Amino acid sequence: MRHLPSLFAFNFLFCITALFGQDGGPSGAGGADSSQSSSRGAGIGMVVGSNYVLKVSDVIEIDVYQEGDLNKSVRIEGDGTVALALVGKVKLAGMTVAEGKALITQLYNRDYLVDPQISLLVVSFSPKVLHILGSVGSPGVVEIPPDRDLTLTEALSMVGGVTRMGNPKTIKIKRVDQDGRSRQMEVNFSKIVQDPDVKDLVLNEGDTIWVPERII
């Protein structure tokens, strides 16, 4: 017998349908197959590694050893740049912390200082987030760690996992690629859990994951 959703469930399904649209229906089988088809918080005081990629709105602290007048705390502007004493605007967004430090050191060493000792710290950043909706314990926003990947298994565990009424075999993920194109994937999460040969899916910033209900 087919499960008859309540009015609430119907309205929820309508909202999800509007969110995912008609472009890019599910395809294939196995781990993840695709077809063509962000809210931010504020992280403060979290230590990030040298491989962390700097981005717009991050606040960084630059210290130049024994050159106190050059020290400053600055926010990366919308164009990806920061304004530094003497050298002017420097584009840092898209670089890792290590690359940004090397660039600033090079600029000061070239015209102004002899063998400058530079430190670059991220003191505040806008974390990368994604959304998980549907039949999970606590639907909502999930934050991606700033300096490592987040898998589907980890993300689902952070929202209490798939509920008893959820269908882990047809999880849908809406993703916008770097070129601006939207696509939708259907993932068989049960295979990821049960088959060691099926790789876990790495999630991207801005992904929207929907776990549907089982059809009884």
- Domain ranges for the chain, please list them: 7-40+127-211, 43-125
**120, pLDDT greater than 80:** yes
Q: Greater confidence, 54 or 23?
A: 54
User: Quick one: what percent of the chain has pLDDT higher than 70?
Assistant: 78
Above 70 in pLDDT, residue 78? yes
d(CA 157, CA 166): 14
Portion of the chain with pLDDT greater than 90, in percent:
57
The model scores a pTM over 0.85: no
40 vs 190: which has the higher pLDDT: 190
Residue 95 has pLDDT above 80, yes or no: yes
Sheet holding 182-187, edge to edge: 32-36, 182-187, 171-176, 208-211, 128-134, 140-144
To which residue do tokens 């781990």 refer? 31
Confidence of residue 111 (pLDDT cuts 50, 70, 90): confident
pLDDT value at position 8? 42
Give residue 47's pLDDT. Answer: 61
Asked if 132 and 139 count as a contact pair (C-beta separation under 8 A), the reply is: yes
Q: Among 183, 188, 181, 182, which Cα is nearest to 211's?
A: 188
pLDDT at 37: 33
> What is the CATH code of the structural domain delimited by 43-125?
3.30.1950.10
Quick check: 207 and 174 in contact, CB under 8 A? yes
Question: What is the β-pairing status of strands 128-134 and 208-211?
Answer: parallel
pLDDT at position 5, please? Answer: 46
pLDDT band at 167 (very low <50, low <70, confident <90, very high): very high
| pLDDT at res. 150 | 94
Can you name the CATH fold of 7-40+127-211?
A: Outer membrane lipoprotein wza fold like (3.10.560)
**pLDDT of the residue at 210:** 97
- Amino acid 57: pLDDT: 84
